[in-house]
Structure 1
């Protein structure tokens, strides 16, 4: 298979990018940040996003979605990376839709998926319990009681947790904190008794939350997938989400590069356009090469995920690790080549630096995925 987008995927990419550039430029994020908006995104923008079919890209057609795959989710994430548009796409249309599609029973799918595709229901995955991503480390306890479960524990870095209608909570029903077996997933309404949510705005002005669950009672119908055996399907969904994040990082790198090249063509120093200086040309050429290599790796990982969701775990980690380092290189070079102006809030390049730092850390930073790749490859 050629490592390029087909015509339909390219049209989807162009459609998403055109819509976001018109409806949600970086100034939208700036306004949400400066006004300390309580929601952190525009509900009207999200509804328009859903009307165009983007929210249901990973939802089966029988539930009102498009039934597409990792590549299509990736091209939308790339468009989001280029515009920095704050939406609940990743938390709901990627993580939520995938987990309910792959782990949910018929009743759960019928209840949640049409609403997700229509942009009427938001979800958030509550999985991390410490400062670094360790999905296998689950200390939150889920104890059997009275025909259901009682949940007790804390979660952090829950993306869009403060606005989610439903929290998808990973908890331990058996075994020790670091055991692969014994992990279960639960659908918990955010307003449930015993659930407290603290919004924590990240460095890039995006939404996250700390979630505390104390004596939270849920029925058997809240269990998402088999009890104690969620690690396998959860891992596959996390890999597709990581590949989607890698596409967002490619979009960030692309936009930072294009803005920097445009600045090099306009800024004069010592009576010359600074883009004429050979040293800056070499740095720009190197960055362009890094972005194109990363783009190919990310797309290949998504193509392999669409062929076999359980197969390309090492390839996904390679893509996420490289996308993180490439995006950080792009924004660092962008800020440096903008000179002192690059350090000011007036220039939007700083927004891309902040988002790149947050996105590369989400679901495992470059160090995490380099180590994971090495282990999976037998080193």
Structure 2
């Protein structure tokens, strides 16, 4: 596949880079990390009202821009590059995709315009395991007439402590594996939902635990039909995985740029250490990993575009998502580690930003599945 940006895509990417370079500075990141929300509400509103990024791939009939996943990935790459603290990944790459794939017309018509205006949302599905599929769903529901009663726990819920809407995956009591999985959408302040913030290594991205206790949801909260959402959940997670890989690719580029600038300014033995052969080799290897990661991400984005329209085979999307995530996870953490080494002792000090990217690299490596998980998944797809 020969890939090249269109003029419109280049404009979207360059505009995102320019905006985030000014808006998501080191000081802004650290301020957001210290806040209760984990992001700046003012900056989020600017993103929603001025940049309109949360509407990128929402169809025009719901008030969106009707663009594709390549454009979304181009923006996400820049968000990862400038370590933006925001609920964008949770709201757009997880909840919005869930509504587009599994939501009813009424749910889309009601909720998508609210997300465009600045409401936030997230997806809760993992009960606390290292699995990232329908097998990770442990919360259960039982039907009581026209309502469903949900009980259970979720962990690793991105921005779950502050989201306005929750999209919840639960399984019918007694079901196992991909059987009996349903998706529900509700407001986060519904009685029966308890949310708590989790301590995490990466302070630039918040995660929450959610507990459901006899949560009653009406039939109109169900996304599609009861017990049939396993395939939709898999597709949603694949799209979110590609989005996260795009962030990782952007972070890899920035960590390289920061490190090269530092080595040019640091002198040893009377000259810049950027001229040392060992440093040059490390930087060249980092750049090579960056280019490979970006190629994998944009190939996966093209597959995702098809998945959101007519839709390729599920295996094709799963394979592309897992290839991108497995490579980007290892490469980002490897580059972050090399950057620390090339910075010397100051790399992990609070004053330098390298440690922020190092922590994001490790956290994003494990979220939605690490390299081992995704390589095994690719092998499973190829063997089927």
Partner of 1:63: 62
- Whole-Å Cα distance in 2 between the matches of residues 174 and 72 of structure 1? 40
Q: What aligned pairs does 1:1-379 form with structure 2 within 5 A after superposition?
A: 1-33=1-33, 36-51=34-49, 52-119=51-118, 121-137=119-135, 138-173=137-172, 175-177=174-176, 179-205=177-203, 206-308=205-307, 309=311, 310=314, 311-378=316-383
Contact 1:57–1:67, Cα closer than 8 Å, also in 2: yes
- Whole-Å Cα distance in 2 between the matches of residues 276 and 255 of structure 1? 20
Moved more, 215-224 or 182-191: 182-191
Show structure 2 runs of 5+ residues with no match. Answer: none
Show structure 1 runs of 5+ residues with no match. Answer: none
- Whole-Å Cα distance in 1 between the matches of residues 81 and 277 of structure 2? 27
- Structure 1 residue 215: deviation in Å? 0.5
Contact 1:265–1:275, Cα closer than 8 Å, also in 2: yes
Contact 2:134–2:233, Cα closer than 8 Å, also in 1: no
Relative to the length of structure 2, the TM-score reads 0.94
Contact 1:297–1:319, Cα closer than 8 Å, also in 2: yes
SS at match of 1:169: strand
Contact 1:133–1:362, Cα closer than 8 Å, also in 2: no
- Whole-Å Cα distance in 2 between the matches of residues 312 and 224 of structure 1? 22
Listed one character per residue, the Cα deviations across residues 176-213 of structure 1 (whole Å, up to 9, x for unaligned) are 33x21210001122111121100114211121100000
SS at match of 2:194: strand
Q: How many matched pairs?
A: 375
- Structure 1 residue 365: deviation in Å? 1.3
- Structure 1 residue 168: deviation in Å? 0.6
- Structure 1 residue 226: deviation in Å? 2.0
- Whole-Å Cα distance in 2 between the matches of residues 68 and 165 of structure 1? 25
- Whole-Å Cα distance in 2 between the matches of residues 78 and 181 of structure 1? 35
- Whole-Å Cα distance in 1 between the matches of residues 181 and 298 of structure 2? 31
- Structure 1 residue 82: deviation in Å? 1.0
Contact 1:58–1:94, Cα closer than 8 Å, also in 2: no
Contact 1:58–1:98, Cα closer than 8 Å, also in 2: no
- Whole-Å Cα distance in 1 between the matches of residues 250 and 94 of structure 2? 19
Contact 1:325–1:366, Cα closer than 8 Å, also in 2: yes
- Whole-Å Cα distance in 2 between the matches of residues 11 and 326 of structure 1? 27
Change (3 A) 1:133 1:18: farther
- Whole-Å Cα distance in 2 between the matches of residues 166 and 129 of structure 1? 19
Change (3 A) 1:5 1:174: farther
Listed one character per residue, the Cα deviations across residues 212-245 of structure 1 (whole Å, up to 9, x for unaligned) are 0011101001101221111111211211111111
- Whole-Å Cα distance in 1 between the matches of residues 264 and 170 of structure 2? 53
SS at match of 1:312: helix
Listed one character per residue, the Cα deviations across residues 257-315 of structure 1 (whole Å, up to 9, x for unaligned) are 01111111111111121011111111111111111011111111111221244333112
- Structure 1 residue 147: deviation in Å? 1.4
SS at match of 1:224: coil
Moved more, 347-356 or 193-202: 193-202
- Structure 1 residue 349: deviation in Å? 0.7
How large is the Cα RMSD of the aligned pairs?
1.4
SS at match of 2:54: coil
- Structure 1 residue 175: deviation in Å? 4.8
